[in-house]
Amino acid sequence: MTNVGEIVARFEQFAPQSWAEEGDPVGLQIGSMQQTVHKMMITLDVRPEVVAEAVKNNVDFIFAHHPALFRPIRKFDLENPQNKMYAELIKHDITVYAAHTNLDNANQGMNDWLASLLDLQDIEPLLPQHEDKLFRLAVFVPQAAAETVRNALTAAGAGRIGEYQDCSYTISGVGRFTPQPAANPTIGNLLEPTEVAEDKIEVVFPKKICSRILKVMRTVHPYEEPAFDLFEVQGNGSRYGMGRVGNLKKSVTISSFAEYCKTKFEIPHLRVVTGDITRKVSRIAILGGSGSQFYKDVLKKKADVYVTGDISYHTGHDIIASGLTAIDPGHHIEQICKPHLQNLFEQWNNENKWQIEVIQSEINTDPFIFI
């Protein structure tokens, strides 16, 4: 049996909650991390029609990009359609988890998927990158228990460096100690100097999971008082950032690029914000969702066009005045996450032998119809 917590733990190796923007309500939305999962459904939005789809398909777990709960519920009035939807989720034991701006920030996440769809070349982050702070743990373990401790630490999330997992370093030596009268030694006798063949195991991990790693170390370590060193490591943390910038294979007019976006995003209409639709462009910035406030960062990256959603009237004027062109294909293009997330979860399903079924929501949650 696989529960939500196991699935989420694997996902958060890919896009940790700590990578979300401040104030973004990512993570568990409704339900329990202990919920057993037989079938999970990927969706962009959690709407009443999506919940009805989940109920019909006997789904245990909804994994959404947009949080179902952006604001606290002040009064649980079931006449409110949103509250009624929450009640349906609880009634049918469906747990909901959301990965929003942490998925947007993730390497090979939302914005890389969008940039890849447009076939951009030489891709780099749009906004300034963040870096995880890393800690290094060096723990001294009797050699007979070294493998057990090392495996427990890496299973808890230590030892991940870039695209490599289970990274550690071991050096052998001799540990010395004298148990005092109040001690309860695993090895040796009270008041007798003791020497033990030990391994020094070193692993690195993000600062955010430090308490978890130390708890695991103390739980599996055979000594009453484990000896260890812990210190911060500079410069080796994972880097992540919002949006992407890249180049087209050849220059095209803004008009042609807009048509290209319509084809790639499979949408009938989009909005173009420009002073000259015939101008040729080659360098493109893209940020899924609502990103119009970052157009000045696009200018710093010397992009010709900014593709993002929800551009307001006055911001549109500012973009034109700056000499930039923007294309607004809408917020709903983020539905691209559904097949990509399904592929990831199916891969992890096979690797971890979860034996769960992963499906995509087939509901179109775009609130806009163009006539």
Annotated binding-site members for a divalent metal cation: 65-66, 104, 331, 334
CA proximity to 40, closest of 257, 271, 345: 345
Q: Measured between alpha carbons, how far is 309 from 297 in angstroms, rounded to an integer? A: 16
**How buried is residue 63: exposed, middle or buried, by Cβ count under 10 Å (0-12/13-18/19+)?**
buried
The tokens describing 251, both together, are: 């220059």
Alpha carbon 42 to its chain centroid, in Å, reads: 14
Pairing of strands 169-177, 95-98: unpaired
Residue list, annotated binding site: 65-66, 104, 331, 334
CA proximity to 175, closest of 148, 143, 204: 143
Helix, strand, coil % over all residues of the chain, rounded to 5: 35, 30, 35
Tell me the three state secondary structure of residue 226: coil
Place of tokens 């030694």: 185
Q: What is the DSSP annotation of 303-344?
A: -SEEEEE---HHHHHHHHHHT-EEEE--GGGGGGHHHHHHHH
Place of tokens 């978890």: 212
DSSP state of 207: G
Q: Measured between alpha carbons, how far is 360 from 358 in angstroms, rounded to an integer? A: 7
Query: Which value, in Å, is the radius of gyration of the alpha carbons in the chain?
Result: 25
